[in-house]
Structure 1
Amino acid sequence: MIVALDFDDVAAAETLVASLPVGRCRLKVGKELFLRAGPEVVRRWSVAGWDVFLDLKFHDIPNTVAGACRAAADLGVWMVNVHTLGGPAMMEAARAAVDAGGHATLLTGVTILTSHSDADLERIGIAGPVDAAVSRLGGLAVEAGLDGVVCAAREAASMRALGGPGFRRVTPGIRPAGVAAGDQSRVMTPAAALAAGATDLVIGRPITRAVDPPAALASAEAELSGAGDAPGL
């Protein structure tokens, strides 16, 4: 599991991380926390033994994205991502930049945000429905040599079919049973996501906003205990 640190307060994020056991989960640092805390908190957590997913969704011209991915890998992060909508040349440049640094950083591609519905894609002007757009963009990620994609859990099986069992399926929008969906449109419980083919489950507010975050993590682990192991977890 990957705990999404969607905080606007650096001290609160550090307190939450200090309460969690290293090795039982991974950490996701997104735009807001990264802008408030800077790269040094990412480097510090990496040095402390945490696997950090730097979720900045780079989307720019190939040279700019390549430089950003190189800088992310130099921080020692476990995973960094780009927007597949940036196109093949951008993803290939990102892949080459990470590889050139000699790091073990995984490179994944965001397909369609889990907050987007078919109606959203129609308004944006992306040919849909969502499942078709995800498959198209996932195919581009495979061709560019990415290590996996960020997708909704319901799309994990089709992404596995495209990229093979070693192709990671990182799934946001994970909500334990009985927890509200919030601002996510395509959600799934941890056990259902694992059964659907996800390899990495991103869980945010159900853990980070819990009264007892370690207990909430343990509860999510318990929900997964009867679902079997997925490759890459």
Structure 2
Amino acid sequence: MEAARAALEPLGENAPLLTAVTVLTSMEQAELMQVGVSRALEEQVSELAVLAENCGMDGVVCSARETTMLRKVISADFCLVTPGIRPLDSEQGDQRRVATPSQAIDSGSDYLVIGRPITRAESPMNALKQIAAELGYR
């Protein structure tokens, strides 16, 4: 992570945001244990987020279910990118730790990753408009 940050230094203000991943939103405690992580999921997410911040990342990718907890252990300007965003009428698919768009924003997400509920919708534009309306955009 430190090497990635150093590689972007020459770009100055033109550098893209640099984020690291905590725990995939398709994983739960059982999957962590299967890959040898014995600590609690929230503890793992917290440790990885703090490590990422200490290494100079601009933010982390995490479940919206962990954003409230993370806001207590990271700085206010550290970005939280949350995949697994599902409108109420959407299928979860392989995502396990999901939230609605408004739940994610209310809990402290900075950026929402909303893929399949839009790309697999009968009308992707209508799906996007409904999500925007839920968030108060017109």
**Is TM more than 0.5 here?**
yes
**3-state DSSP of counterpart to 2:113:** strand
Give the alignment of 1:70-109 within 5 angstroms.
91-102=1-12, 103-109=14-20
Unaligned runs of 5+ in 2: none
- Displacement of 1:212 after TM fit? 1.4
Structure with the greater relative contact order (CA < 8 A, sep ≥ 6): 1 or 2? 2
Q: Does 1:133 align with 2:50?
A: no
Q: Which has the higher strand share?
A: 1
114, 125, 129: which is aligned to 1:214? 125
Q: 1-side partners of 2:6 and 2:96: how far apart?
A: 34
Q: Kindly tell me the number of residue pairs found equivalent between the two proteins.
A: 136
Q: 2:132 aligns to what SS in structure 1?
A: helix
Pairwise CA distance, 1:151: 0.1
Amino acid at match of 2:3: A
Superposition TM-score, scaled by structure 2 size? 0.93
CA RMSD of aligned residues (A): 1.3
CA contact (8 A) 1:142 1:162 kept: no
Letter of the 2:98 counterpart: V
Matched residues in 1 for 2:31 and 2:122: separation?
Answer: 34
Where in structure 1 do 4 or more consecutive aligned residues deviate above 6 Å? Answer: none
| Helix, strand or coil at the partner of 2:130 | helix
Measured after TM superposition, the shift of residue 162 of structure 1 is 2.4
Aligned-partner residue type, residue 144 of structure 1: C
Identity of aligned residues (%): 50
Mapped partners of 1:93, 1:121: distance in 2: 26
Give the TM-score normalised by structure 1.
0.56
Residues 162-200 of structure 1: CA deviation (Å, up to 9, x unaligned): 222211110000000121110011001001111111111
- Measured after TM superposition, the shift of residue 203 of structure 1 is 0.4
Q: If you compute each CA radius of gyration, which structure gives the higher value, 1 or 2? A: 1
**C-alpha distance in 1 between matches for 2:131 and 2:113:** 11
